[in-house]
């Protein structure tokens, strides 16, 4: 008797636990919101694309996934949600839009651009935001509305030590270094010349090739970057390509005659060394960075 009572109790517990787990299964929207906040973007998009909820679904407080992506400074998800029809003008119960909740300047700029696009297309009125400069237009050309990316770069406190006129291109260089092609594209859409050069005279496409940032190189080429432009050392971007993907994208390298590194090259070598050394936590790492610096001074190549 005791044996059958034990078996029955175990079965009841299994059924109870199973039913409890089913009852506690997370809501797809809540799970997507969690993934957005943790920047697990592939998982979030899988749920969004499953069709289990509308992309503009709002919580009881009035917040949409675009609100949460803006609050998490998740630019990739902001882009993905807007591409799937997310409404940038939705307001929460306290009147907050995704623009109001945006943390990063690039996220704010992207949402502002989406709001302007809706307003131009007859959608909701634009949400007030900080004034943004318009891109200078040529004779007889209509001025293009700014998306705010260049203004954000100019006013970014992190750029306070840089010459104001160089802040957009130096920010673009940072985006290439840290593999942020979406942010790079926003600057190019706004005010930045795709053939602009940094403070050492390096064109952006050369920097992308040297860092093997294939997506950044694609963005630059899409915006009109020249493959034949040469840097102060007489090299085209293809001369710096190392991976098969970058070589296929940029084409054949051009003949180069270089015996000693130029002052521009020395500056680039030092910048790369300092960026590497800043991430080191021990002397072994710093010595490795130093060896690469010396190699760069001799050959012009850091990696």
Over the stretch 242-270, which tens digit does the pLDDT of each residue have? 999 999 999 998 887 554 555 566 777 88
In order, the DSSP letters of 172-207 are HHHHHHTT-HHHHHHHHHHT--TT-B-TTS-BHHHH
Name which of 246, 189, 243 is nearest 214 in CA terms: 246
Query: Domain spans of the chain?
Result: 25-120, 160-257, 259-303
- Per-residue pLDDT tens for 99-117? 888 887 788 888 888 888 8
| 125, 90 contact by CB (below 8 A) | no
Q: Which residues are CB-contacts of 253 (< 8 A; sequence separation ≥ 6)?
A: 236, 238, 239, 241
Q: Give the residue carrying structure tokens 């590497």.
A: 276
Arithmetic mean of pLDDT, 212-234: 93
Q: Provide the terminal-to-terminal Cα distance of the chain, rounded to the nearest Å.
A: 75
Element (H, E) at 30: helix 28-37
pLDDT of 237 above 70: yes
**Mean of all residue pLDDT scores within the chain:** 81
The CB-side HSE value for 28 (13 A sphere, CA atoms) comes to: 12
Task: Output the CA–CA distances (angstroms, integers) from residue 61 to 47, 95, 96, in the order listed.
Answer: 21, 10, 10
pLDDT at position 121 is: 63
pLDDT in tens, 11-69: 444 444 444 443 345 789 999 999 999 999 999 999 999 999 999 999 999 999 999 99
Nearest to 118 by CA among 142, 76, 78, 82: 82
Q: Which residues of 267-284 are buried (b: 16+ CB within 10 A; e: fewer)?
A: bbbebbbeebbeeeeeee
Q: Calculate the CA 232 to chain-centre distance.
A: 28
Instruction: Give me the CATH code for the 25-120 domain, please.
Output: 1.25.40.20
pLDDT for res 258: 56
Give the sign of the dihedral formed by CA 86, CA 88, CA 90, CA 95. positive
DSSP annotation string for 125-175: PPPP----PPBP--TTPPPBPP-SHHHHHHH-GGGTTS-GGGHHHHHHHHH
Instruction: Please state, in angstroms and rounded to a whole number, the distance separating the CA atoms of residues 268 and 274.
Output: 10
Is domain 160-257 annotated with CATH 3.40.50.300?
no
Rounded percentage of the chain residues whose pLDDT exceeds 90:
45
Task: Give the pLDDT score at 22.
Answer: 37
> Which pLDDT band, with edges at 50, 70 and 90, does 148 fall under?
confident
> Are both 25-120 and 160-257 of the same fold?
yes
Q: Is the pLDDT of residue 192 over 70?
A: yes
Token pair 């001025």: residue: 143
Q: At residue 208, what are phi and psi to the nearest 5 degrees?
A: -60, -40
Nearest to 204 by CA among 186, 244, 177, 183: 177
């Amino acid at each position: 008797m005791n044996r059958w009572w034990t078996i029955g109790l175990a079965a009841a517990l299994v059924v109870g636990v199973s039913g409890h787990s089913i009852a506690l299964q997370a809501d797809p929207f809540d799970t997507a919101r969690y993934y957005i906040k943790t920047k697990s973007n592939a998982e979030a998009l899988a749920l969004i694309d499953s069709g289990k909820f509308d992309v503009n679904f709002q919580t009881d407080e009035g917040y949409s996934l675009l609100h949460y992506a803006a609050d998490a400074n998740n630019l990739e998800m902001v882009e993905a949600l807007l591409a799937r029809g997310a409404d940038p003008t939705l307001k929460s119960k306290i009147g907050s839009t995704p623009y109001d909740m945006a943390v990063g300047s690039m996220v704010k700029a992207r949402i502002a651009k989406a709001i302007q696009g809706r307003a131009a297309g007859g959608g909701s009125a634009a949400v007030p935001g900080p004034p943004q400069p318009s891109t200078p237009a040529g004779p007889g050309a209509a001025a293009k509305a700014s998306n705010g990316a260049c203004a954000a770069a100019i006013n970014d406190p992190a750029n306070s030590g840089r010459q104001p006129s160089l802040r957009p291109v130096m920010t673009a260089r940072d985006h290439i270094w840290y593999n942020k092609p979406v942010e790079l594209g926003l600057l190019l859409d706004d005010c930045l010349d795709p053939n602009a050069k940094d403070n050492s005279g390096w064109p952006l496409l050369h920097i992308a090739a040297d860092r093997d940032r294939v997506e950044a190189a694609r963005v630059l080429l899409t915006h009109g970057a020249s493959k034949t432009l040469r840097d102060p050392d007489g090299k085209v971007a293809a001369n710096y390509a190392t991976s098969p993907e970058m070589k296929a994208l940029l084409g054949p390298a051009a003949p180069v005659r270089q015996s000693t590194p130029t002052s521009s090259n020395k500056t680039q070598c030092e910048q790369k060394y300092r960026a590497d050394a800043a991430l080191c936590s021990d002397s072994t790492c710093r010595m490795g960075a130093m060896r690469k610096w010396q190699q760069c001074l001799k050959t012009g190549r850091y990696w």
